[in-house]
């Protein structure tokens, strides 16, 4: 109870944020001018310009060609993001970040964002009971806290009268991220009920799949930290390699199975009370509307009772190792038909045994979504299930393993002709501030985090305590070694001196008794007896 009271007080204090759409940029005035350059309260200037944090500048969206998968132009609000909504935004300097440059880049902190921080993402089964409960309470708090700084778009720019009639809605902090995942992957509305283009997705089925979800997870952690005040928080991962069932689907973790309805979450879990949003894509298409964040029913999950022809098993360690052995990040058309593509095999559109694209089957990342057989099974609404977070963190760790093993230069990431939204210089939809895909084709070390199972002994500790622990152990071992040598020397000297004195006394006695210096047999045995070893 005390934990929830503390968290409630913390989350009731408004904080600046860095997400889509900032309230400060959701007004008619901003939409008409298309200038999203809010004031940073730290110095009262636009984008914190007086403090050298950033400046309001024109958005330079990439003009390089994208692939043929999306043949339209000027139809969708997400094309050449974010120009339909904003053509001027804050562009931050140095290690500053945020829609008003009021925050620090990932991995930095401090008043001037000049200090480094390295966080460690850990296996959820390696967390203590208290740490597990804290994680669950944090995301449940996010589910039940209205975002103080962000809103979601409930209509297209055209429906908003080109900005004169803003259409935005409040949403909880957790559901904000659900909506973002829906918005980035939704079908393009071409005009008229049911008239949509489905072969479009700005975060899946091509090169940006891994960088986009990397930024998405980093922002998840970022916002939970601000909500709770716990800046050591990281999202744990579920290492599902070789699993036979949903190991995390228990009431003390992410919710067991309901005893009366296998599609629902056990009433013993807080997640049984959760309501999902953005889960009715066909209905939105039929009505030609966007998801507006309205609750649409309970969270659904029925792990293992899925289509076995589509997913025969959970991925194995051998599957992961094959994926890591692939040398090309992208190949061919750079979509779900790509062969021998690390991204396409890991995403799950190709076989982890041959590397060739497959139809009618879901492997690797995709297979876990299908295996969950519920809210996770729909791309647009999959983030409703908190299993999504643990699953994608582990996918990100595999991406990180591949980057460390092959150390690809940025030039290996496609600069043009990838499906729309996936080229290197394309800004990620729907993030404000702006992030380019290619900027996150790099190791987690540069972003301030690591994975426990990739670290040296001492894994799971934060970087500072790892170094402190190693330094302390080294000092202790050195001190113990020196002390041990000194003690051994003193003891040896004492024993030697005692032995010589004893021998001398015996020699004197023998000379007086027998007139000879030759040692007796029993004295030799005594010298080698256990009494000597015991003394030492």
Residue 275 bridge partners (DSSP): 298
Look at residue 163 and tell me whether its pLDDT is greater than 70: yes
Question: Which pLDDT score, from 0 to 100, does residue 148 have?
Answer: 85
Higher pLDDT among residues 304 and 515, named by residue? 304
Question: Which pLDDT score, from 0 to 100, does residue 504 have?
Answer: 47
CB 204 within 8 Å of CB 91: no
Alpha-carbon gap, residue 194 to 190, rounded angstroms: 9
Question: Which pLDDT score, from 0 to 100, does residue 62 have?
Answer: 95
Query: Which of 1-5, 312-316, 519-523 is most confident?
Result: 312-316
Residue 153 CB-half CA count within 13 A? 30
Alpha-carbon gap, residue 298 to 276, rounded angstroms: 6
CB 188 within 8 Å of CB 75: yes
Model pLDDT for residues 311-343, shown as the tens digit of each residue:
999 999 999 999 999 999 999 999 999 999 999
Determine how β-strand 35-36 pairs with β-strand 88-92.
Answer: parallel
Model pLDDT for residues 480-495, shown as the tens digit of each residue:
555 556 655 555 555 4
Alpha-carbon gap, residue 191 to 149, rounded angstroms: 32
**Residue pointed to by tokens 């995390």:** 248
What are the start-end ranges of the E strands in 337-389? none
Q: Which of 428, 414, 438, 340 is nearest to 66 (CA)?
A: 414
Question: Which pLDDT score, from 0 to 100, does residue 487 have?
Answer: 58
Alpha-carbon gap, residue 292 to 171, rounded angstroms: 9
Element (H, E) at 342: helix 342-347
CB 433 within 8 Å of CB 442: no
What distance lies between CA 129 and its chain's CA centroid?
Answer: 21
Model pLDDT for residues 270-292, shown as the tens digit of each residue:
999 999 999 999 999 999 999 99
The residue length of the chain stands at 536
Question: Which pLDDT score, from 0 to 100, does residue 479 have?
Answer: 53
Higher pLDDT among residues 382 and 149, named by residue? 382
What's the helix, strand, coil split of the chain in %, to 5? 40, 10, 50
Model pLDDT for residues 367-386, shown as the tens digit of each residue:
999 999 999 999 999 999 99
Question: Which DSSP state fits 46?
Answer: E
Question: Which pLDDT score, from 0 to 100, does residue 505 have?
Answer: 45
The rounded percent of the chain whose pLDDT value lies above 90 is 79
Structure-block tokens of residue 156:
């297209």
Look at residue 458 and tell me whether its pLDDT is greater than 70: no
Alpha-carbon gap, residue 184 to 79, rounded angstroms: 11
CB 19 within 8 Å of CB 219: yes
Look at residue 453 and tell me whether its pLDDT is greater than 70: yes
Alpha-carbon gap, residue 15 to 328, rounded angstroms: 42
Query: What's the mean per-residue pLDDT of the chain?
Result: 86
Element (H, E) at 109: strand 108-109
Model pLDDT for residues 224-257, shown as the tens digit of each residue:
999 999 999 999 999 999 999 999 999 999 999 9
Look at residue 349 and tell me whether its pLDDT is greater than 90: yes
The rounded percent of the chain whose pLDDT value lies above 70 is 81
For the full predicted model, state whether its pTM sits above 0.85: no
Element (H, E) at 178: helix 173-185
Model pLDDT for residues 182-200, shown as the tens digit of each residue:
999 999 999 988 899 999 9
């Amino acid at each position: 109870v005390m934990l929830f009271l503390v968290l409630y007080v913390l989350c009731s204090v408004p904080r600046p944020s860095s997400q889509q759409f900032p309230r400060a940029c959701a007004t008619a005035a901003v939409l008409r001018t298309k200038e999203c350059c809010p004031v940073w309260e730290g110095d009262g200037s636009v984008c914190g310009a007086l403090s050298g944090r950033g400046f309001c500048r024109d958005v330079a969206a990439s003009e390089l060609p994208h692939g043929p998968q999306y043949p339209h132009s000027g139809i969708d609000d997400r094309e050449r993001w974010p120009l339909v909504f904003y053509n001027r935004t804050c562009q931050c300097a140095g290690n500053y970040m945020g829609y008003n440059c009021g925050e620090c880049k990932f991995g930095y902190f401090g008043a001037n964002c000049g200090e480094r921080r390295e966080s460690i993402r850990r296996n959820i089964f390696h967390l203590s009971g208290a740490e597990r409960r804290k994680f669950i309470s944090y995301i449940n708090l996010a589910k039940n806290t209205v975002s103080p700084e962000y809103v979601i778009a409930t209509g297209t720019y055209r429906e908003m009268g080109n900005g004169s009639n803003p259409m935005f809605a409040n949403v909880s902090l957790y559901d904000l991220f659900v909506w973002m995942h829906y918005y980035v992957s939704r079908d393009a509305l071409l005009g008229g009920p049911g008239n949509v283009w489905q072969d479009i997705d700005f975060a899946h089925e091509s090169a940006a799949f891994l960088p986009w979800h990397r930024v998405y997870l980093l922002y998840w952690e970022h916002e939970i930290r601000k909500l709770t005040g716990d800046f050591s928080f990281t999202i744990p991962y579920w290492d599902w390699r070789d699993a036979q069932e949903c190991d995390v689907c228990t009431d003390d973790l992410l919710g067991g199975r309901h005893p009366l309805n296998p599609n629902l979450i056990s009433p013993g879990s807080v997640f049984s009370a959760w309501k999902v949003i953005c889960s009715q894509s066909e209905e939105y298409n039929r009505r030609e509307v966007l998801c507006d964040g309205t609750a649409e029913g309970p969270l659904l999950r029925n792990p293992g009772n899925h289509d076995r022809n589509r997913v025969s098993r959970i991925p194995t360690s051998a599957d992961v190792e094959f994926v890591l052995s692939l040398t090309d990040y992208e190949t061919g058309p750079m979509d779900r038909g790509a062969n021998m593509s690390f991204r396409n095999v890991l995403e799950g559109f190709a076989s982890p045994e041959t590397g060739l694209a497959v139809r009618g089957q879901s492997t690797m990342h995709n297979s876990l979504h299908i295996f969950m057989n519920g809210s996770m099974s729909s791309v647009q609404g999959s983030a409703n299930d908190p299993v999504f977070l643990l699953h994608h963190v582990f996918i990100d760790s595999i991406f990180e393993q591949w980057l460390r093993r092959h150390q690809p230069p940025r030039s290996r990431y496609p600069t043009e002709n990838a499906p729309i939204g996936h080229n290197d210089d394309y800004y990620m939809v729907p993030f404000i501030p702006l992030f380019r895909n290619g900027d996150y084709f790099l190791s987690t070390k540069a972003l301030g985090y690591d994975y426990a199972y990739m670290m040296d002994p001492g894994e799971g500790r934060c970087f500072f305590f790892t170094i402190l622990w190693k330094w302390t152990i080294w000092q202790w071992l050195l001190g113990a070694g020196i002390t041990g040598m000194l003690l051994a020397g003193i003891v040896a000297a004492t024993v030697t001196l005692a032995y010589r004195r004893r021998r001398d006394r015996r020699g004197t006695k023998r000379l007086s008794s027998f007139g000879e210096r030759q040692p007796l047999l029993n004295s030799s045995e005594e010298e080698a007896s256990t009494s000597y070893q015991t003394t030492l």
